[in-house]
Amino acid sequence: MRLLFALAMLSASLAVADERPGEIPLKSIWANDMPGTRNIRELEPEFFEEVIDGDRRLYKNRNDRFRDSIYWHFGGALDHLQPGGEARKGFAVTGTGLDAFREADQVLNKGARPRKSFAEGKDVSIVYFSHQAGTNIYLDDVTREGNVIKVPFFPVPRGERDLPANYAIIPLGKLPAGKYRVQIVQVPMTQKYIDAGYTQPPRPAIFDRVVSKSFAFEVVKPADAAKEP
């Protein structure tokens, strides 16, 4: 009996040790052209088909209705900035996956105001994006410590002149009531890119201009939820 109890306690402790509270790993994030994430085109299978090329999974437009996809319009909204322009703030949306992607599209392309408050008990996702900048701008694992969510990004130099905009829908799950701050910050390039021969780029002002800005939102008790469109 004591042996069974000891084994149960050991199993529980190992389970806790395996969990990393406060981390939102890349593999749970829907994103466009970011290694380690879930391909956001999979959210709209009616517009894309999977093509296996060796050990790569590619997604090509399925038909002429490709331009009706959220993916198409979302990317169009993140084209090159006008001279002197700056990226807007990131924002939070309700739901996860396709529902979150749809609401994000309403904000970026349809003029909807980003929500500032969300009802407790509802799923919340945050939207990160960067405009085209002649380089890839990738995410590292996102973390949440208390009411502060850190979204770390780093540029990876590429030779192509025009690269697709990088953006992500980051699920936070159901959050307790409170005020939250989302910090979008540049971090050093991860080691695997350095090992692959990439050179850590400097921090020119362009990254301050093209990457979405930090922002805040609130989660409130259902009875106090703000009635926003």
Identify the domain containing residue 172 by its residue range: 22-224
pLDDT tops 60 at residue 13: no
Q: Which helix (H) or strand (E) covers residue 155, if one does?
A: strand 148-157
Q: Where is pLDDT greater, at 203 or 220?
A: 220
For residue 9, being part of any structural domain is answered with no
For residue 2, being part of any structural domain is answered with no
Report how far residue 39's alpha carbon sits from residue 31's, in angstroms, rounded to the nearest whole number: 6
For residue 169, being part of any structural domain is answered with yes
For residue 69, being part of any structural domain is answered with yes
Report how far residue 33's alpha carbon sits from residue 139's, in angstroms, rounded to the nearest whole number: 11
For residue 12, being part of any structural domain is answered with no
For residue 117, being part of any structural domain is answered with yes
Sign of CA dihedral 54, 191, 127, 76: negative
For residue 127, being part of any structural domain is answered with yes
Which pLDDT does position 163 carry in this prediction?
62
> What is the total count of domains within the chain?
1
pTM reported for the whole predicted model: 0.80
Residue type, 114: P
The most confident of 85-99, 154-168, 192-206, by mean pLDDT = 85-99
Q: What is the per-residue pLDDT across 67-102, written as a single tens digit (0 to 9) for each?
A: 788 988 888 888 766 667 788 899 999 999 999 999
Q: Which residues pair with 92 in a beta bridge?
A: 115, 126
For residue 177, being part of any structural domain is answered with yes
